[in-house]
């Protein structure tokens, strides 16, 4: 029996993070820009990010996450019930994320692209879960694991990196910079929603802003975010892509 998809809004783009605030730091400016361009955008957080030292609990963190989503203008934000600090790539986590992909049918999925040394190991696990879930989303003859949700093929996958990490990801064939000059402030506003995480780290805003400006200036714009593609990207109009 095929599930009814009418209750799940179809999205053009989904960004996947391990915790609420990952996506905002990594690609919040790009998500806001996509919204402005008329695309339907969603965020999936694999965990609620709790416990953390300065948070009163999951309810507060979830309120911050929804406020951040509103600041960016994204249409859907989903927080999965997977364990923070104990997130591992396994069959169950892959199916949980692939189920969301089947529900919302994105054309583009963006997620972690590498390890983040001296930061949460959940990030690396999130990358592997996302890679697998994109594959699981399109597999036929597996209805019993997905509640009758129809298969869905995702057209393109991109990797992000956290704003304070190196711009380029080793081993990826293509990198591109998105101009977020018009949405950098909304990115910063979304990060600022996480008072439990950054209220005691006022320098984080300056670091994120500076990183975006350095990335942007290298590409000839005021501020930017870099993405890597595991596969080469072809363009139809070289002049329009390279010059305009």
Total domain count, the chain: 1
Mean pLDDT of 122-127: 98
Domain presence at residue 6: no
Q: How many residues does the chain have?
A: 244
Domain presence at residue 5: no
Domain presence at residue 91: yes
Place of tokens 């692939």: 98
Residue 182's pLDDT is what? 98
Place of tokens 């984080």: 204
Domain presence at residue 97: yes
0.85 surpassed by pTM? yes
Domain presence at residue 3: no
Mean pLDDT of 87-114: 98
Domain presence at residue 100: yes
Per residue in 176-226, pLDDT (tens digit) is: 999 999 999 999 999 999 999 999 998 999 999 999 999 999 999 999 999
In this structure, the number of other CB atoms found within 10 A of the CB of residue 76 comes to 18
Residue 240's pLDDT is what? 87
Mean pLDDT of 102-107: 98
Per residue in 10-28, pLDDT (tens digit) is: 999 999 999 999 999 999 9
Residue 169 pLDDT class (50, 70, 90 cuts): confident
Q: What is the extent of the structural domain holding 24?
A: 13-242
Domain presence at residue 71: yes
Domain presence at residue 52: yes
Residue 107's pLDDT is what? 98
Place of tokens 């997620």: 111
Residue 1's pLDDT is what? 62
C-alpha separations of 35 from 46, 62, 70, 226 in Å: 22, 22, 11, 18
Long-range contacts of 58-62 (CB under 8 A, 24+ apart): 60/196, 61/20, 61/194, 61/196, 62/20
Decide: 157 and 229 in contact? Cβ < 8 Å. Answer: yes
- Whichever domain contains 136, its CATH number is 3.40.50.10320
Residue 244's pLDDT is what? 60
């Amino acid at each position: 029996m095929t599930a009814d998809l009418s209750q799940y809004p179809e999205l053009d783009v989904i960004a996947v993070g391990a915790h609420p605030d990952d996506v905002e730091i990594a690609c919040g400016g790009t998500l806001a820009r996509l919204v402005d361009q008329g695309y339907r955008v969603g965020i999936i957080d694999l965990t609620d990010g709790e416990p953390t030292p300065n948070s009163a609990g999951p309810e507060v963190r979830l309120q911050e996450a929804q406020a951040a989503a509103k600041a960016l203008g994204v249409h859907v934000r989903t927080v999965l019930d997977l364990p923070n600090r104990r997130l591992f790539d396994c069959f169950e986590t892959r199916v949980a994320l692939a189920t969301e992909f089947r529900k919302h049918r994105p054309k583009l999925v963006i997620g972690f692209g590498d390890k983040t040394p001296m930061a949460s190991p959940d990030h690396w696990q999130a990358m592997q879960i996302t890679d697998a879930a994109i594959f699981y989303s399109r597999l036929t003859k597996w209805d019993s694991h997905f509640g009758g949700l129809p298969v869905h093929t995702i057209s393109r996958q991109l990797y992000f990196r956290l704003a304070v990490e190196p711009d380029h990801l080793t081993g990826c064939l293509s990198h591109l910079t998105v101009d977020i000059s018009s949405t950098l402030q909304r990115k910063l506003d979304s990060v600022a929603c996480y008072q439990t995480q950054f209220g005691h780290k006022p320098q984080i805003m300056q670091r994120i802003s500076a990183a975006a400006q350095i990335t942007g200036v290298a590409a000839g714009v005021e501020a930017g975010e870099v993405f890597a593609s595991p596969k080469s990207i072809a363009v139809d109009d070289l002049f329009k892509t390279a010059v305009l």
